[in-house]
Amino acid sequence: MTPMFFLRSFIMNGLAVVLKKRVLVLLSGGIDSAVCATKLCTDGNDVYALSIRYPNSANAEEIDNAIFHAKRLHIKHVVVDFNFIEQLTVGVDANMSFNVGGAINNCISRGKVPMPMSVELLHVVALMFARMREIRHIYWSIHKDDIVGDSEKKIFEYLRALEGPATLGRYSSCKFELPFIGFSKKEVIEIGESLDVNFDHTHSCSSSSRVACGVCRQCVLRADAFESLHPKKLAG
């Protein structure tokens, strides 16, 4: 191999890195974000991942899984601690949960009240994170089965509104991408299976437990999706 070959190879590899689209994926540690992160890597993007650790170990299992996938994919991963939320709930009967879509999506979870603005807070932090790294695309893996009622239109209205302030000043625009919004849970799992995503390291439950409750909307969605893809044989 000649020095010229090495030089050309060096330049081409450097160019490939430069030409890669830099993206941010919101990596919750559930099925959908693990599939989304894997797809973004497979498509050759320069992928960053952001996870949020909620107070009281509310999503400890998910965070462990998010770390697992980020390591497996060799992507840059930051876990931001949201423990300060506890300070906001002093004096409040805060039997609250952190849900996909939050108040925008009219989420209801096992009698708990969705933590107001928790998703919005996550998105603002994501915008901050993205702007500091000149990332123009943030991937949120909400899908068709996450949508309650006519929330889809509201979610798009909300995201477009949120992107507005982020472009103020000297900053470039940054857009939220919802690649799975037209896909069912089952279809997202199918994509994941084609990409060899390890679903043993995903957690879907809305309860704060490390063990899935089996009855919340997210648990039921997950079980139904896997069951329809891989029906269990009935005994006898």
Which residues contribute to the site for Zn ion (CB under 5 A)?
Answer: 205, 207, 213, 216, 219
> Minimum distance between the CB of residue 218 and Zn ion, rounded to whole angstroms?
6
Whether 177 and 217 have beta carbons less than 8 Å apart is answered as no
Contact 144, 182 (CB under 8 A): yes
Asked whether 139 and 101 are in contact (CB, 8 A), the reply is no
Shortest Å distance, C-beta 63 to Zn ion: 17
Least distance from C-beta 132 to Zn ion, angstroms? 35
Q: Please report, for residues 80, 142, 235, the alpha-carbon distance to residue 27 in angstroms, rounded to integers and kept in the order given.
A: 11, 11, 38
Residue 2 DSSP class: -
Nearer to Zn ion, 60 or 159 (CB): 60
The span from the CA of 66 to the CA of 29, in Å, is: 4
- Residue number with CB closer to Zn ion (202 or 207): 207
Q: Which is nearer to Zn ion, 45 or 109 (CB)?
A: 109
DSSP code at position 144: G
Pick 196 or 200: Cβ nearer Zn ion: 200
Closest approach of Zn ion to the CB of residue 183, in Å: 21
